Amino acid sequence: MSMAPDYPPAITLEPVAGPIDAEVTLPGSKSYTNRALVLAALAEGTSTLHAALFSEDTAVMAESLRRLGIPVAEDPVGLTFTIEGKEGRIPADRAELFVGNSGTTARFLTALLALGQGEYLLDGVPRMRQRPIQPLLDALRQLGVDAASVSGSGCPPVRVRAQGLAGGKVLLPGSLSSQYLSALLMVGPCTRLGLEIEIEGELVSKPYVELTIQAMQAFGASVCCEGYRRFVVPGGQRYRARDYTVEPDASAASYFFALAAVTGGRVRVHNLGSRSAQGDVRFVDVLERMGCQVIREPDSITVQGPASLRGVEVDMNAISDTVQTLAAIAPLASGPVVIRNVAHIRHKETDRIHALATELRRLGVVVDEFPDGLAIYPSPVRPGTVQTYDDHRMAMSFAVLGCRVSGITIDNPGCVAKTFPDFFQRLAAALGRA
Ligand SMILES: O=C(O)C1=C[C@@H](OP(=O)(O)O)[C@@H](O)[C@H](O)C1
Ligand SMILES: C=C(OP(=O)(O)O)C(=O)O
């Protein structure tokens, strides 16, 4: 499936001549759009999402909800989805769902299927069949749901035989993904007894759980979080349909902030303020430590790049979708860039730590690969074709590097369609080339 506007098999970037100066608007947040689609589906009444993301990840979510008997109308030009919620019921008693390589869709829907009465199958692209979902299946089994990995690999395809979800207590490992927790939290209000979830080990990607709680509250439900160790969702609650406006995507913003950083230019991203609950807005804190100037306003963030970037050592567990953005520009810094505590990104669209080490080395960059991160040393970058492994963030991150150094070609640029179909058009606009 491709939603990208007819990309060629490869794109060679043209470096910019001098500092750029750009005002940027971005597509809606993937995380908020897919949460709001789920919450609207579970609500009572008709909801409209405005400024939503239209990309592969939201298309597979919307289509899966339709297959479950929940009407979802879309207007990709007006950027709205209109959802007829079914008050926590799943109308279809049989369905086969295709989730592509969307982790949020796979995880959120697996929990949602447990609310149904029937038998459901959920599958995705070959890489999705390598992305673990067993902790969520185990949690659902603790709640009495017959949920299983069909191949026994602990990954999709997943089969759920559901007879409704009463609720209860669950022990959930936290170290692989926060999406299992978000998935359970969102169905919690629709259970009779509610959910009490205890996290085993340290929870990764914590800000996404904040997004989940915030979105649930926006649709009228309450959740209680005790220090990211224990979560209590009262049962018998009703989500209320509403008009909901999606914030721009903070992970998408990271590419444009990085562009300012490497060109010594200025980029202002609109409609995304420093008080956003999206953790990835804190990528600018990392750039600030590297010497950028950051102006944080209620409804915009501006980054001004320095003459020369400094190295940095940073724990990126909470903002791991921006690891590739930082790693791709890291060779241009005057000192080493050390990224720690992101072992979980080996289970994303690709093994991101290994993919980064491989592709940076291809460009002549000196890199150490650790189990949980990377060290990237100041290096001259030589021309080359970057393999993207069907990972949108590999394509977007190395494209930023290609705006500064000569001869960077991005293989399969169309993979940006997962979350940002018109990325290269918006990049050209930011460079004044549109
Ligand atoms: O809940 C979400 O919207 C997301 C959670 C994160 O995943 P993990 O919790 O698996 O790290 C993030 O990488 C992903 O892009 C979106
Ligand atoms: C990891 C990502 O997505 P997901 O887990 O939702 O597939 C991402 O968008 O970087």
Task: Give residue limits of the domains in the chain.
Answer: 10-27+248-430, 30-233+241-245
Mean of pLDDT values over 120-147: 98
Q: Which of 91, 258, 102, 262 is nearest to 179 (CA)?
A: 102
Query: Tell me, which fold does domain 30-233+241-245 have in CATH?
Result: UDP-n-acetylglucosamine1-carboxyvinyl-transferase; Chain (3.65.10)
pTM for this entry: 0.98
- Pocket test residue of 321, 388, 390 for ligand 2, highest count of atoms within 8 A of CB: 321
Mean of pLDDT values over 65-71: 98
Query: Tell me, which fold does domain 10-27+248-430 have in CATH?
Result: UDP-n-acetylglucosamine1-carboxyvinyl-transferase; Chain (3.65.10)
What does the block give as tokens for 376?
């990237």
The yes-or-no answer to whether 10-27+248-430 and 30-233+241-245 have a common fold is yes
Hey, what amino acid is at 345? I
321 as an active site residue: the answer is yes
Which stretches of 349-405 are DSSP H helices?
Answer: 352-362, 392-402
Contact 186, 213 (CB under 8 A): no
Residues contacting 77, CB < 8 A, separation 6+: none
Ligand 2, atom 6, residue with closest C-alpha:
103
Does 103 show up as a binding residue in the annotation?
Answer: yes
d(C-alpha 212, C-alpha 226), whole Å:
15
Which stretches of 94-239 are DSSP H helices?
Answer: 103-113, 134-142, 179-187, 206-218
> Residue 120 half-sphere exposure, CB side, CA atoms within 13 Å?
34
Does 117 show up as a binding residue in the annotation?
Answer: no
Residues contacting 73, CB < 8 A, separation 6+: 81, 82, 83
Is there an atom of ligand 2 within 6 Å of 205 CB?
Answer: no
Is there an atom of ligand 2 within 6 Å of 419 CB?
Answer: yes
What does the block give as tokens for 389?
């492994």
Q: How many helices (H) and strands (E) does the chain have?
A: 12, 23
What does the block give as tokens for 430?
């930011």
Q: Which of 402, 401, 385, 393 is nearest to 423 (CA)?
A: 393
Q: What is the pLDDT of residues 390-412, one digit of tens each?
A: 999 999 999 999 999 999 999 99
pLDDT band at 434 (very low <50, low <70, confident <90, very high): confident
pLDDT of residue 77: 97
Is there an atom of ligand 2 within 6 Å of 344 CB?
Answer: no
d(C-alpha 256, C-alpha 24), whole Å:
8
Mean of pLDDT values over 151-174: 98
Residues with C-beta less than 6 Å from any ligand 1 atom: 31, 103-104, 177-179, 182, 204-205, 208, 320-321, 344
